[in-house]
Amino acid sequence: MEYIGYPEMILAAVCFLYLHRLNSKTTLTNWPLIGMLPSLLVNLYRLHGWATDILSRNACTFVFKGPWFTNMSNIVVTCDPANMRHIFGTNFANYPKGAEFNEFFDILGDGIFNADLDSWKTQRKMAHQFIIHKKFQSFLEQTSVSKVKNGLIPVLEHVLEQNLVVDMQDVFKRFTFDTTLILLSGIDPCCLGIEFQKFPFVDALDDAEEAIFHRHAIPMNLWKLQRFLGIGREKKLIKARESLDQFIAQCISKNREQHEQAKNKEQEEKGVDLLTSYMEQDDGSNSDKFYRDTVLNLMVAGRSTLSSALTWFFWLVSNNPIVEAKLIKELKKAISPENVDKKVKMFEMEELKGLVYLHGAFCEALRLYPSVPFEHKRSIKPDVLPSGHKVDTTTKIILYLYSMGRMEVVWGKDCSEFKPERWITEEGGIKYVPSYKFMAFNSGPRTCLGKEIAFTQMRMAAATILYNYQVKVIEGHPISPKNSIILYMKHGMKVKISKRVL
């Protein structure tokens, strides 16, 4: 019989302590050379929860030390509203998107998300001018109503009649892809249908968003090597870009043909899409690449964020019957008498605009599950954040929007609860909350231009579904965030649909 000697015992003890620390949910060990990377990799499957745990124990800000000589060597992670206000507002000029951001999001080209300085100002001014135009606003309302009536309702009725289990996240992705592309180009790709046909360009957008997330989780040199070799997630990103480029090129070509054939009278009646507006204002300086970058940037802003928001909203509502009952009560008061006797009831746009509790429920869902869970920045000059942390040009700053909604010091001891009342004043109006505390639509000069577009589409889709159907998540179906730059559910949201009895 062999006996275990002291060296083996010491080695076993060291391995035990190492694994214990490595698997700790909130411990960050700064190892020589590799820094805190092992802790990150071990907790990557629950990154948002892990970061939230650490932030809550460190007054909303901590310093992550990655491997030496990499772009991860010095990272300040924060969800402190004071830091958010400083970076996105007070000292905005010191925190542009920068070259590194452009590398991470290279698929977006020179579009508004990547743009800085004069290019960003020009693109933002142009987009804002088109979005607020009464013709586009009319087109937005027509599109929202039409796609709910002729796309979403037929699908849900089919699911109901066939007693099917359906992935509502997939339904919302298809719904928002259609509406977003119609608003952008006037073209309906018809992704939402009872056949649930697969579309490569829809999957390509998901693959791209997932690959970009992983660029944030590993050293830059590693993912650049993967890109050079054409392996791993970088291979999927390359294929995704090819698929999206081909699809968007077809949309631009088709829009250009329709624009040339369209009559001014028809445009007045039907409204106008954004791509047509851009082309009408073009003095010849806009290339197809400009249109490609514009469409892709706005597609991510519209389709991806909106489908995520609707999915988490319905999951929260389905798990909170008291909130659901209050929403139904508010909708009953709002619907027109002439719509009550119809098989499937739909609302007028004007009826939905004053629904305070529904608005509060949307904001509360976005507080807990912001569609974009984090952002990153670098300063162009040394600075000291309000939290006291020093940053310079070598410091990466991760702004964790997901975690901010779960901080007791920000939202109180009930921060983890789904409470639409949090957004309602004692007088029954919508409570003002500063954007640097509620970052779902960004803050400061880069506040999201599509905020009202999002609420318009969410109100119509959510109100119609809530009033006509009950959505129940399948018992035992796992719900957790996916590792992506968009906060999707990892396994989708499998549900059963039933007719709501009022």
Q: Binding site for heme: which residues?
A: 448
- Residues with Cβ within 8 Å of 315's Cβ and at least 6 positions away in sequence, in order, are 473, 479, 489, 493
- Judge residue 332's burial from the number of C-beta atoms within 10 Å of its C-beta, 0-12 exposed, 13-18 middle, 19 or more buried: exposed
Q: Distance from first CA to last CA of the chain, Å, rounded?
A: 77
Q: Which region, left, alpha or beta, applies to residue 470 given φ > 0 means left and ψ of -120 to 50 means alpha?
A: beta
Distances (CA, A) of 306 to 14, 96, 192, 197: 48, 25, 15, 21
Distance CA 281, CA 474 (A): 50
Question: What is the sign, positive or negative, of the torsion defined by CA atoms of 339, 344, 347, 352?
Answer: positive
> Can you tell me whether residue 397 is helix, strand or coil?
strand
β pairing state of 469-473 and 494-499: antiparallel
DSSP conformation class of 252: H
Spatial separation of the C-alpha atoms in residues 480 and 78, rounded to whole Å: 22
Q: 479: Cβ–Cβ under 8 A, 6 or more apart, which residues?
A: 315, 473, 489, 491, 493
Rounded to whole angstroms, the Cα distance separating 494 from 173 reads 14
For residues 299 and 240, give the distance between their C-alpha atoms in angstroms, rounded to a whole number: 14
State the binding site: 448
Torsion of CA 385, 390, 395, 397, to 10 degrees: -30
Distance CA(9)–CA(27), nearest Å, equals 25
17 contacts: CB under 8 Å, gap ≥ 6: none
- How open is the CA angle 129-133-136, to the nearest 5 degrees? 115
CB 467 within 8 A of CB 331: yes
> Does residue 420 sit in helix, strand or coil?
helix
User: In angstroms, how far is CA 312 from the centroid of its own chain?
Assistant: 11
With CA atoms as reference, report the closest residue to 339 among 355, 327, 350, 354. Answer: 350
3-state secondary structure 309-348: HHHHHHHHHHCCHHHHHHHHHHHHHHCCHHHHCCCCCCCC
Report the largest interatomic distance among the alpha carbons of the chain, rounded to a whole angstrom.
Answer: 96
Measure the CA–CA gap between 396 and 73, rounded to whole angstroms: 9
